Amino acid sequence: MSKITIPFGPQHVALKEPENFMLVLEGEQITGSTINLGYNHRGMEKAAEGRTYIQDLYLIERVCGICSHSHTTCYITNVEELAKCETPKRALAIRTLVAELERVHSHLLWIGVAGYEMGFETLFMYTWRDREQVLDCLELLSGNRVHYSINTIGGVRRDVSAEQKAEVMKRINYLVERTNYYIKLATEEPTVLARTQNVGKLPKNVAIERNAVGPTARASGIISDVRKDDPYLIYGELDFKAISHDTCDVFGRLVVRALELVESYKIIKQVLNNLPEGPIAVKVPMRIAPGEAVNHYEAPRGEDIHYLKSNGTDKPERLKVRAPTLANLQSVSYMLEGGWMADVPLVIAAIDPCMSCTDRAVVWDPKKGKKQTYGWEELRKLAIEQYRRRGVDFTRL
């Protein structure tokens, strides 16, 4: 059979960010793939060198709108380490609280997106409706829905009052109930199982070889969670489980994220019930002592690493960010190989890419020299149709 190369991306108009996949097809099966990045390159690391530490905080927050708290917390830990500042316990607890709320919002968002790519649009609407509850909590605590800006050098900007605590608790109890429904749906619904089981396989040894992180690695049976391995903030004192699953496929990634939601609710409740007393921030001088610092952080998508070098002025000399999606993209090309064209959207969505984008694919037949353009939407329909012929149909639910 003749080989076909398909550029996949870089524009995506529905959900995510830009990137490009070159897929080599043999019939309907994928035999190879290359990933091209850089469509979203803004030059933030260079920009960070020209701004002060406190200005950088707001720049770093905008590395990503979904895991903004992860990036600032990781950056600020570096700054505080270099400044040798003793951050108050209450501030650390509030940071943990916001971090877990962020994980809940990110995982709910992912379950919705995965449902959408499967053709299960009801699930998408359900999870996004419930996600509003978390966004309300975050708005209540920080004043903003997406970029919370709760962190400041030396602590946090806002305190948590008793009324806020009660309000957050109420919403979390509602979400616990809803999440039990999603877990039941993900593990028992035959249509979901048919679309996710044995799709996008990533065996344990390959996951280690390709440095998969976060839920992608944990679904391949690797127990790697920075919160457990190297506790930061107040995770060391909290009681929670590191979730892992050994099916190594999209189903495993769905289960891992759904079960992590439950752990996050547990953490949120523990933090709210045992908030330490004391100040929420300490003063830190503008100039930071020279030195280098590296820190890692378990973002919703995996391990996020920040490196910071200071030279004694009020501006950093070098800042380097390694976001989790970059680590996980290496495994995507493995997951795609040998799979079906129809599974591409779901497999790419399964790592929860934070800068992914796939809008249109051009099917090119070198023998006939013919080109056929697929939009993301058409590709999604193609996938849904193909599975419907195999008996997987969400409209019959």
Partner 1 sequence: MKTIDKLITWSLLKSPWILHFNSGACNGCDIEVVDALTPKYDIERFGILQKAVPRHADILVVSGPVTRQQAKRLRTIYEQMPEPKFVMAVGACGCSGGVFDGCYGVIPGVDKTLPVSVYIPGCPVRPEAIIDGVVKLIQSVEGKK
Is the CB of 65 or the CB of 366 nearer to partner 1? Answer: 65
The answer to whether 169 contacts partner 1 (rule: CB under 8 A) is: no
Identify whether the C-beta of residue 30 lies closer than 8 Å to the C-beta of residue 340: yes
Helix (H, G, I), strand (E, B) or coil at 23: strand
Closest by CA to 373, choosing from 7, 2, 117, is 7
Is the CB of 21 or the CB of 235 nearer to partner 1? Answer: 21
Q: Could you tell me the smallest distance in angstroms from the CB atom of residue 189 to partner 1?
A: 21
Helix (H, G, I), strand (E, B) or coil at 246: coil
Is the CB of 274 or the CB of 373 nearer to partner 1? Answer: 373
Would you call 272 exposed, middle or buried from its count of C-beta atoms within 10 A (0-12, 13-18, 19+)? middle
Q: Could you tell me the smallest distance in angstroms from the CB atom of residue 377 to partner 1?
A: 4
The answer to whether 382 contacts partner 1 (rule: CB under 8 A) is: no
Q: Could you tell me the smallest distance in angstroms from the CB atom of residue 18 to partner 1?
A: 6
Output the CA angle 298-212-63, nearest 5 degrees. 50
The answer to whether 132 contacts partner 1 (rule: CB under 8 A) is: yes
Helix (H, G, I), strand (E, B) or coil at 3: strand
Instruction: Report how far residue 390's alpha carbon sits from residue 29's, in angstroms, rounded to the nearest whole number.
Output: 17
Span near partner 1 by CB under 8 A; candidates 10-18, 179-187, 209-217, 229-237 = 10-18
Identify whether the C-beta of residue 244 lies closer than 8 Å to the C-beta of residue 223: yes
Is the CB of 116 or the CB of 387 nearer to partner 1? Answer: 116
Q: Could you tell me the smallest distance in angstroms from the CB atom of residue 379 to partner 1?
A: 10
The answer to whether 38 contacts partner 1 (rule: CB under 8 A) is: yes
Helix (H, G, I), strand (E, B) or coil at 294: strand
Q: Could you tell me the smallest distance in angstroms from the CB atom of residue 149 to partner 1?
A: 10
The answer to whether 58 contacts partner 1 (rule: CB under 8 A) is: yes
Closest by CA to 394, choosing from 107, 123, 114, 182, is 123
The answer to whether 145 contacts partner 1 (rule: CB under 8 A) is: yes
Span near partner 1 by CB under 8 A; candidates 65-73, 87-95, 233-241, 258-266 = 65-73
Pairing state between β 29-36 and 20-26: antiparallel
Instruction: Report how far residue 318's alpha carbon sits from residue 388's, in angstroms, rounded to the nearest whole number.
Output: 52
The answer to whether 375 contacts partner 1 (rule: CB under 8 A) is: yes
Tokens of 176: 């616990």
The answer to whether 29 contacts partner 1 (rule: CB under 8 A) is: no
Q: Quick one: which of 329, 357, 361, 392 contacts partner 1 (CB under 8 A)?
A: 357
The DSSP output letter for 219 is: T
Amino acid code (one letter) for 97: L
Size of the site for partner 1 (CB under 8 A): 43
Paired with 22 in beta bridges are 7, 34
Q: Quick one: which of 6, 7, 16, 263 contacts partner 1 (CB under 8 A)?
A: 16
Q: Quick one: which of 64, 150, 288, 335 contacts partner 1 (CB under 8 A)?
A: 64
The answer to whether 250 contacts partner 1 (rule: CB under 8 A) is: no
The answer to whether 143 contacts partner 1 (rule: CB under 8 A) is: no
Q: Quick one: which of 43, 177, 283, 367 contacts partner 1 (CB under 8 A)?
A: 43
- Please list, in sequence order, all residues whose beta carbon lies within 8 angstroms of the beta carbon of residue 219, skipping any fewer than 6 positions away: 202, 244, 245, 247, 248, 249, 252, 253, 255, 256
Identify whether the C-beta of residue 186 lies closer than 8 Å to the C-beta of residue 192: yes
Instruction: Report how far residue 26's alpha carbon sits from residue 31's, in angstroms, rounded to the nearest whole number.
Output: 7
- The two counts, helices (H) then strands (E), for the chain are 14, 10
The answer to whether 63 contacts partner 1 (rule: CB under 8 A) is: yes
The answer to whether 22 contacts partner 1 (rule: CB under 8 A) is: no
Span near partner 1 by CB under 8 A; candidates 16-24, 176-184, 216-224, 239-247 = 16-24
Q: Could you tell me the smallest distance in angstroms from the CB atom of residue 219 to partner 1?
A: 23
Binding positions for partner 1, rule: CB under 8 A: 10-18, 38-44, 46-47, 50, 58-59, 62-66, 68, 109, 124-125, 128-129, 132, 145-147, 354-355, 357, 359, 375-377
